[in-house]
Structure 1
Amino acid sequence: MDSQQLTPALSVDDSPSLSDSESSSGIPAEQVDIIRSIVDKWHKKPLQIANDIVSALVLHPKTNTRARN
């Protein structure tokens, strides 16, 4: 096996696109953006990242509500 032929990692562009208002899992886009910005800080410890995500979700209750029609 040639060690030079490695499978490339998935890039952000390979991920499924999300609608402007809500992700495929039902999470509002604003929360997805908050989570992505936190995860981009890979220099942090995993538990700190998880804590930041929970804090962001709790501190931004407006993004927890769905639009009512």
Structure 2
Amino acid sequence: QIQAEVAEEQQQIALDSIFSTVAANWFQLKSKSVTPDYAKDIWRSLEKDVFPAIGEIPVQQIKARTLVEALEPIKA
């Protein structure tokens, strides 16, 4: 029983640390401080350019160079 609970907790931690999950949590906060159109643009850019590159990678495993390369298409 305890082992199952620990495994479930570890799985939830792993899911919570995936870049797309972290980005979605950040976006919820960010979208409150920008216009709806700008928020839509941010999310669209993440979905189109960033998530395909690093969306399923845990944030702890993302190297700076990988992040910079993923963000390159959306630099303004």
What TM-score results when the alignment is normalised by the length of structure 2?
A: 0.41
- Larger helix proportion, structure 1 or 2? 2
Higher relative contact order (CA 8 A, sep 6+): 2
